[in-house]
Structure formats: C-alpha cells, structure tokens
Amino acid sequence: MSPLILSAAGAALVLDASGTGLPRVRHFGADLGSATGDELTPALASLTAAPPLLPAQGDNWYGRPGLSGGRDGEHWPVRWTLDRLDADATPGRGGTVTVAASDARAGLELVTELAMDAGGLVTMRHTLTNTAAAPYRLEGLVCALPVPARAGELLDFTGRWALEKVPQRTAFGYGVWSRENRRGRTGHDGTGLLVAGTAGFGFRGGEVWGVHAGWSGNHLHYAERLAEGPALVAAGELLEPGEIVLAEGESYRTPQVYFTWSGGGLDEASTRLHDHLRAARPLGVRPVTLNNWEATYFDHGLDRLLELADKAAAAGIERFVLDDGWFRHRRDDRAGLGDWYVDEGVWPDGLNPLAEHVRKLGMQFGLWFEPEMVNPDSDLLRAHPDWILGRSERMPPPQRNQQVLDLARPEAYDYLLERLDSLVSEYALDYIKWDHNRDIAEPVHDGVPGVHAQTLATYRLLDELRARHPELEIESCSSGGARVDYGVLARTDRVWTSDSNDALDRQAIQRWTGLLVPPERMGSHVGAPQDHITGRSLPLAFRAATALFGHMGVEWDLTSVSQAELEELAEWIALHKRLRPTLHGGRVVRADHPDPSALLHGVVLPERGVFAFVQLTSRVAIGPAPLRLPGLDPAATYEVRVAGPKPRAAGLPEWTAGPVRLSGAVLGELGLPAPVLRAESALVFEVERV
C-alpha cells in the first residue's frame, strides 16, 4: 500500500501502512506539495524508523509503550495485525483515517481514529476492546506522533493558584520529559500544551510541534527521544491501578488528543487550535459581564446588589452574575455547599427581585454554582454521607472545608441535575458560572479509583443541562484556571482564566493561556484599583486595556467609584464593544519583542487589527525598540490610529497624534516608533486596510 497523505493549511501527515502491523506516521510537519504517496516511497525508506500509531517493543520501540496493561496470571505482549484501514482524504483539505487492528492471542482489538481538519490540526483517539474471557487491566493508553531530530527544545507550563500558565523551557535530550497530573482536574500547574521545537523558537519563528490532551481529569503529556533516533510527543489520560478493568466485550476510549504543527512559530500552531475550537463550538456576541464576587463577597443585601446593577448598566455592562452566597446556609465558605435552594432568610422573595431588576436594565442574569462539591456542614451531606467520592470508612482529607460528591453515583447525579435544571428554569438563567474549587484527593468510586468515572459523569451532567437549555451559557471556573482544557471547552462557553485580576500578572497569564484558548473564551475582568490577592495598585487604564483582549468583564464594587471612574470604565467598555468583532473573531498575534520589559500583541482580520503595546516594568534601554506589527498583509496599506484613552507617557511619537498610512511590509519590518510609557501602562491602537 502506498503512503497515505493528509494535508491542509500548509501542514501534512504521511501514514505508511505498507506492513502487516499498525501504520507508522512517517511525517508530521510541512506540506509536501504535489507529491503523491508513490513518489514519497523512496524518500521514506531513507528516514529513521518511525514508531507506529501505538508504540510497542514488538515494533522495535524501546521507549515508553503506548499501551500498558495485562491479565492476572498471564502476560502476552501485543503484536497488532492490521485488519482494516478506511480513509477519506482530499489534498489540501485534510481528511479522516480509521485503523482497525487486533491480536487474537492477546485478546485485544484496537480502533484508532485519526483526522486532520481544514486548518491543519490533527486529532487522534483510540478505542481498546477486550475480546478474551479474562478481564484486562488497563494501565495506560496514549496517543503519540513523531517529531524529527531537529526538535531540540521543549516548552511546557506550570503554575499555582492565581498565577497560572508559567512557561518553562528545557533542552529536548534523550529519555522522557513527562508532566503527570493527579489532581482530579486539569490543575493550576497543568501544562495544557506541551511543545517541542527547533532551537530558539518563538511566537513568530521556528518550527514547533504541540500536543494537548482534551481531558479534565488525571492526565499526562510527555516527550521522548531514544538513542536510536526516533522521538515523539504524546498525551492521554493518566489511569490509577485498577481504575479501568475491561470484562469481555467491554471497551475503553481515550480522550481526544490534539496535535498542532507550525513552520512559523507558536502563533501559527495556536491559530490551528483556535480555529478548530471556533469551528466546533461557534459562539455569538460575548456580553460584557459583571460578577459581584469581589464587589460584595458574601454580602447579599438586596439594596446593595440593586445599586451595583444600576451602576453596571450605566457603564454599559450587558450581563450580571450573582456569585457565591445565594443558597441555604451560605454565609461563609464553611457551610451550605450542596444545598442548592435559594436561602429563604436572605432572599425571602427568592432571586426574582434582583433578576427582574437586572433584566429591566437590559442585562442578562447569571448565577454561580459549585455542583461537584459539598460542605460537611450541609443538609445534603448530613442526609447522604455516603455520597462522598471516597471510602465511607475514612473520609478524604478536606480542602477549603469541602469534600467531593460522587457524581458517578446515580442518586447524587440525579439530585444535581434536578436542582440545576429547576433553578435554570425558575429564573430563566442566561448563564452559569460552574466552579470547582479543590483538587480531588483519595477518590474512590465503588471500591476503585474514581477520577475517570467522575470526569465522565461531570461531562454527562454538563451535556444534559445544555440539552435541556440550549441557549444557556456555561463558564468553567476551577479556582480560576485549574480546569482549562478542550474536554471541558467542548461543553462550556468560556473559562475563568485566573482568580487573579491583577492586570500585571494577567498579562502573562492571558498570553500563555491564549496559546490554547481564543480571546472570546477567556474571561478577563477589570478588578478593583488594589487587587485583593496581590495587593498591587494599578491604574484603571492599564486594568481595562488588559481586560479588553479577552471576554471582557468587571469584578469591582462600582457603588464605591467616582463618577469620573465610572465614565472612564464606560469608555473602555464602549471601545471593547466596538472592537469586539475583531477581538473575538480574528487571529491572535504576538510579537517576539526584543525588550523583556514590554509586550506587543494583537488580533488581526484580513481587513483590520487591534494591537496593544504594554510596558510591564521600567525599561533598561534608554530608547524603546520599534513596534514591528506581526500578522499583516505586506502588500496592503493600513491606516494606524490610537484606540481609546491614551496612556500615561513620558513621550508619545507623532503617529499617535493622528492617523498615518503605511504598508504592511513597513509595519512588519521597520515598525512604528514606540511610545515611552511608564511602567504598568499600555497603548491600544488599531490598523485598518485602506
């Protein structure tokens, strides 16, 4: 069989099924032009042997196996026989491949689904079925693709609460670089995207290969290089011993794993991911949102909330979200989780007085939930102590005064679905902020590790709620950005990027979260002048310019602001609304700006773009480096003008005083003279093709 080629948007994947076993991916990278499979055969013969779709020792792969598991008392290493390969591919437009293989002696069957979309993004998943009478104990099943020898560096991410997506780089040497997550959720330190690339790759240059596991439970990403030459990147679910035991005829399906390649740096790899998510779940206009948490915390006095809603509407806000504290017994974070009934003592007339007032002001109404959690001090847990995800004889260690409900238990699932459905219906909710505020420790469901079953049950709950309320929007929040992955984003409309609204920290958090998540799905709020987590004080213009480039919102007690501050905030919100079609539909670009004290980033469409030059800290250099604008058409002419309020500055160049016209080539190569900004300030400007 001649090699099969999938190609789209400048990327290509070459699958070699000439043997009797699983096909091998001979190439994942740049498009190979008009070459046919037959023409590639001589070139492929000279390449270093690539591992098959599921690497194993029977295929001379002596690294980490793609499949691990066994049966009690008998071990048969798997050697797959290719049973079927179905392909539907169109040159330049991607396609799909389904591979079926089996090993009768090992008692296993495998189906691998491989696809390349029109944007060049590759997705893969495996389904493993036990065909023998004896149970098969699955230990691991990952999706992997090869990377070439020139991929000499690795980029991944770590972090903590309120400081997610901190990048770290290392050499891609021999052996395994593995990031393993056992938190039961994606985690503040979850890498999100593991990237291998050529030396010195950046946003706009270098060749990169990235992998992401679309799964919200325990997971792993790794890169491996053998002394014999082959290297790969891989990802999948991280299973605990005994978590998946397949009886005869039972199957396990891996999460979807996403692979992205770029010949021009991280931005192109990121664009493929963004385009895929946007095509899979298109969104309408993203309303500017106010969340009351940092404004009132647990103080739910109706008069104060009504005044807050009035101020929000006056600023141009389009959605009002009531956060934690509205349900029974919830006067602090030590009680009430699980008791999903409106607290009659705080809200004697229910939430209707607030909801009706909000809607009369022209805003949508949303509500906070944390469905997967429960406080020991709650009516729910007093009535059903056996609903905890853990051993009944020994409660798991508490975090945040919380335990985790076992959603895979039908009674707990049914209770949550009834309560959520009832409240969404009663108050015609437009929006839910769905929180998840602790790691899952010692999870046990029916005597076995429980994260896999819990994650699938959470997905079912989200899917069922959306099926009953198709217009409902859902935000995934998990102590901020601890559940940001394509598994949850397949079911929700945005993520809460971080609990930190400190705009200085947010610049980096949003920059790196944005590799995976497009702006319209990243919650980004204007917080108070002094951040409640870091204690740092920042000017409104800087806070607003930071929030502008996401799904903009406000988390600030507007009842305490001056009229001048309210008017300035309203000006930024109006700017966001005007720029929203570009910000939420364009391609994200990030310059490899030479000054480490500053950032230059933007969002571009073919006809226009929006950019921000951000001065994070004081410069070392006396003169700022020019602003070379990425992502523009070199042959087009653009008009450049400042958008919104001008920042504090020691000096602004002439072009900021009025529109100038320059070619995309000049803007991209020579750039614009940079303003001399003070630390913690930003200049937002737009370009439009003329």
**Catalytic residue numbers, as ranges:** 435, 499
Q: Are strands 494-496 and 522-526 parallel, antiparallel or unpaired?
A: parallel
Q: Sort residue 362 into left (φ over 0), alpha (ψ -120 to 50) or beta.
A: left
Tokens at 680, concatenated: 């913690």
Q: How far apart are alpha carbons 594 and 663 in whole angstroms?
A: 22
SS3 59: helix
Give the residues across from 127 on adjacent strands. Answer: 111, 253
8 Å CB contact between 466 and 475: no
Residues 6+ apart with CB under 8 A from 585: 520, 605
End-to-end Cα spacing for the chain:
52
Q: Which among 308, 428, 317, 302 has a CA at the least distance from the CA of 353?
A: 302
Q: Which residues contact 45 (CB under 8 A, 6 or more apart)?
A: none
Position 607: which residue type? E
Return the amino acid letter for 413. Answer: Y
Output DSSP code: residue 78.
Answer: -
Longest dimension (CA), the chain: 79
H-run or E-run covering 42:
helix 37-45
Those residues with Cβ within 8 angstroms of residue 75's Cβ, 6 or more apart along the chain or in another chain: none
What string of DSSP letters covers 193-207? -EEEESTT--SSSS-
- Going by C-alpha positions, the residue among 66, 84, 79 that lies closest to residue 107 is 79
677 forms beta bridges with: 649
- Residue 34: both structure tokens together: 């008009």
Whether 525 and 547 have beta carbons less than 8 Å apart is answered as yes
Q: How far apart are CA 649 and CA 10, in angstroms?
A: 42
Q: Which residues pair with 86 in a beta bridge?
A: 98
Q: Would you report the helix, strand and coil content of the chain in percent, each value rounded to 5?
A: 25, 35, 45
Q: How far is CA 454 from CA 132, 401, 407, 450, 462, in A?
A: 27, 20, 6, 6, 12
Strand order across the beta sheet in which 681-689 lies: 587-590, 598-604, 608-615, 681-689, 637-642, 660-663
**Number of C-beta neighbours around residue 672 at 10 A:** 22
* Cα–Cα dist 33/36, whole Å: 9
